A and B are shown apart, each in its own frame.
Chain A
Amino acid sequence: MADSTTSTEIGLTTVDGKPLKEALAYAQTRARRRALLLVLPLLLFILVTFILPIGQMLQRSVYNDGFTMHHNLGTGEDTPIMVNLAAWFDDNELGVEPDEAAYAALVTDLIELKRLRAPGSAGTRINYGLSGSRSLFTQGARKAAKLEAPFKEALIGVNEKWENPKLWQVMRSASSSYTGAFYLAAIDRTQNADGDVERVEENRRVYVKLFGRTLAVSLLITFLTFLLAYPIAHLLATLPLRYSNLLMIFVLLPFWTSLLVRTTSWMILLQSQGVLNDAMVGTGILDDANRIQMMYNKTGTIIAMTHILLPFMVLPLYSVMRPINPSYVRAARSLGATSWTAFRRIYFPQTVPGIGAGALLVFILAVGYYITPALVGGADGTLISNLIAFHMTKSLNWSMAAALASLLLGGILILYWLYDRLVGIDNLKLG
């Protein structure tokens, strides 16, 4: 008894006399460090290609220096612009009528814009807030040097749009590089001349509607892929291996085919002069004048996307169904359960982790889907991603694209959180 007490006090040691605890901790740290080194390339890769761009996008959605800084892309030189006007805005609160000093500051800044050849980019920034103001800046900058005091009358003489209180509100908002205006615009809202938030006119509301449509279409597609994939996956999982492998190839073949090829194939099949319509007209089911429009609308988007996303539902379901022991269901049946009860109480609950994984995969992919709706969506089948692409590539309003994308990202994160609360993310099984 006394002996054992002494040995605990001294502690166990390794052969070279180090305390065992220390030696173990040391070895573990080394192993952990080695493991970290192994994942380091991946961590760096994710940081550079994923985290940083997303951070940049988030920043762009609240930051636009088009009215505060001129970047000379040739020399790489940055020059602050509109400094006098910004100073006037600092001294005078929102609601103060622009006075002679304000117009004098504006004219000085316009002359500077002209010197920097920057009226176009500054005007573009204001144009985001108030359409039609871009040429106001190019025209104003062209004539500013010749204007004489009093500048207020002189500038309004050049173009009476300079008097517009809304213009001054937009200029005030743009004179700070950080702004929430793009988020407001992304939910169909704007600030009026007094700075109050209000909805945009009826005929220009589009984003909220498209967010809603994207959500609805994605949920529908997730549900449809589930309906179609469940029996397929069950069949795959229960057939003998040599048959199920062949069937698996049929699932995987489209998965390996280019997205564009699959989308255009659907166009050929479904368009009003397409294979399906021709067949129906040929067999007399349809009249030639009443061909069904299944392409270039929401129907086309839903059909094509359901098909394209189907493997993402089949594969997780299959991987969950394969290891389910058939004797459970047999046991339930032998104990008197009907086939429906056996399915509902025994089989289905075991497949839930696969459904969760598949649904989450399909839903998240569908929410951001872009090429297919762009090609087959026509007018009412376009999704929010198409408008993000529009602002990225056509209108070149990247801040707007970033704000829309951030809202989409935020929405998905909230749904993910809800899913975690309701189903539990540990309940997810990918394979």
Chain B
Amino acid sequence: MKKTLILTTALTGFAFAASAAEVTVMSWGGAYTKSQVEAYQKPFTAETGITVNSVDSDNPATPIKAQVEAGNVTVDVADVEFSDAIRLCDEGLLETIDQSMLPAAPDGTSAADDFIDGALQDCAVANIVWSTVFAYNSANNDGTPTTIGDFFDLEKFPGKRGLRKSAKATLEMALMADGVPAAEVYGLLDSAEGVDRAFAKLDTIKADIVWWEAGAQPPQLLADGEVVMSTAYNGRIFNAAVAENQPLVVVWDGQILDFDLFVVPKGAPNKEEAMKFIAFSTDTQRLADQASWISYGPARKSSGAMVGLYSDGKTEMGPHMPTAEANLGNALVNNFEFWVDHDAELNERFNAWLAN
């Protein structure tokens, strides 16, 4: 009897200790957070017993500086864009991540070789490749827009346009729509004439733009008929179209590819669990699993072959990936170095342009 008592007490104590361990993960909300909860967080809790608190933000990079400088960090892992990861790391706001803790691919290829170029940084590990595309509601459009130029063509396709309220991606798309080949976009944007040209192109549709900030907004704006076309994160459109049967169509021409990366803010309260979470979530299987919840490409080469069907069990994911061969015809890879350098200047100009 006494033995049982000791045993149960010990077990309860153990269970208590286990449930006390937790990690807070901040992501972008909506369908994207859901994909991470299903593919990373639930299996992680099942395997390690560590509870995952999932919180959302319009852009998880923004609260980090405030939290770290105030010495009140509540987030352990944040999912951020490439240029933000580099900038925050340079400013000493992130913990460095030991890449040797990342598991190798099933065939034994080391993590360093298995991740796509650029996916591993001092303070960040990429999980997905996503892209900014434009999409339209086929119920509200007479014709079929096929090129980025059509997005800026108000005569052929009259109606409001949705655009992210930020210089990033907006300027690049404007230049591509103006006929600049993807390879020359950043070279041109580095010059005053290039920036002027991009803003001049934006001027042509300025009066018809509805600006959005949260990733969940564009599918909503499109479904409501508030806009006829909108730029969007490609996965959000996929989910609205496939999971919610909305008549939304992605146009891949002029898409801008980018990474989302996991980072750990300096002074994170559960740093150890955070690192465990990152190592667990970015292994070959989890990254492939995530692609069955939303159409973002895995950052590991070895995951690519394992990507199969959407969670409805019938939609083939391959063609919906931004990295699919057919979608790369006119695609631009986001130049993070350019944005780390010019973010302040171009957003200042962008704000002035908006206000005038």
Q: How far is the CB of A276 from chain B (nearest CB, A)?
A: 14
A127 CB contacts on chain B under 8 angstroms: 341, 344
B160 in the interface (beta carbon within 8 A): yes
Q: Most B CB atoms within 10 A — which of A71, A73, A124, A128?
A: A73
Asked whether, in the complex, the Cβ of B345 is within 8 Å of the Cβ of A396, the reply is no
- How many residues of A sit at the interface, in one of the four size bands? 35 or more
A73-B93, A124-B91, A378-B211 are known contacts. Are A397 and B344 too (CB-CB below 8 A)? yes
Asked whether, in the complex, the Cβ of B89 is within 8 Å of the Cβ of A379, the reply is no
Q: A396 CA to B59 CA in the complex, in Å? A: 13
With both beta carbons as reference points, the residue of chain A lying nearest to B351 in the complex is identified as: A206
B356 in the interface (beta carbon within 8 A): yes
Which residues of B from 64 to 95 have beta carbons under 8 Å from A?
65-66, 68-69, 87, 89-93
With both beta carbons as reference points, the residue of chain A lying nearest to B348 in the complex is identified as: A204
Asked whether, in the complex, the Cβ of A379 is within 8 Å of the Cβ of B345, the reply is no
With both beta carbons as reference points, the residue of chain B lying nearest to A185 in the complex is identified as: B348
Asked whether, in the complex, the Cβ of A131 is within 8 Å of the Cβ of B211, the reply is no
Q: A379 CA to B351 CA in the complex, in Å? A: 9
Which residues of A from 19 to 65 have beta carbons under 8 Å from B?
none
A121-B91, A132-B345, A379-B354 are known contacts. Are A73 and B68 too (CB-CB below 8 A)? yes
B66 CB contacts on chain A under 8 angstroms: 392-393
Asked whether, in the complex, the Cβ of B90 is within 8 Å of the Cβ of A121, the reply is yes
With both beta carbons as reference points, the residue of chain A lying nearest to B337 in the complex is identified as: A135
Q: How many residues of B contact A (CB 8 A)?
A: 40
Asked whether, in the complex, the Cβ of A203 is within 8 Å of the Cβ of B210, the reply is no
A273 in the interface (beta carbon within 8 A): yes
Q: A382 CA to B91 CA in the complex, in Å? A: 30
Q: A380 CA to B354 CA in the complex, in Å? A: 7
What are the interface flags for A66-108 relative to B under an 8 Å C-beta threshold, 1 for contact and 0 otherwise? 0000011110000000000000000000000000000000000
B340 in the interface (beta carbon within 8 A): yes
With both beta carbons as reference points, the residue of chain A lying nearest to B122 in the complex is identified as: A117
Kindly identify which residue among A120, A205, A271, A393 contacts B87, using a CB–CB cutoff of 8 Å: A120
Asked whether, in the complex, the Cβ of A131 is within 8 Å of the Cβ of B342, the reply is yes
Asked whether, in the complex, the Cβ of A74 is within 8 Å of the Cβ of B266, the reply is yes
Q: A206 CA to B356 CA in the complex, in Å? A: 8
A124 CB contacts on chain B under 8 angstroms: 87, 90-91
A390 in the interface (beta carbon within 8 A): yes
With both beta carbons as reference points, the residue of chain B lying nearest to A137 in the complex is identified as: B90
A118 in the interface (beta carbon within 8 A): yes
What are the interface flags for B344-356 relative to A under an 8 Å C-beta threshold, 1 for contact and 0 otherwise? 1101110111111
A134 in the interface (beta carbon within 8 A): yes
Q: How far is the CB of B107 from chain A (nearest CB, A)?
A: 35
A209 in the interface (beta carbon within 8 A): yes
A273 CB contacts on chain B under 8 angstroms: 224-226
Which residues of B from 51 to 68 have beta carbons under 8 Å from A?
59, 62-63, 65-66, 68
Q: List 11 A-B contacts (CB under 8 A).
A: A120-B92, A127-B341, A131-B348, A134-B341, A203-B352, A206-B356, A210-B355, A213-B355, A271-B224, A272-B226, A394-B62
Which residues of B pack against A, CB within 8 Å?
59, 62-63, 65-66, 68-69, 87, 89-93, 160, 199, 206, 209-211, 224-226, 266-267, 337, 340-345, 347-349, 351-356
Interface pairs A-B: 5 shortest CB-CB = A120-B90, A131-B345, A206-B352, A393-B62, A379-B354
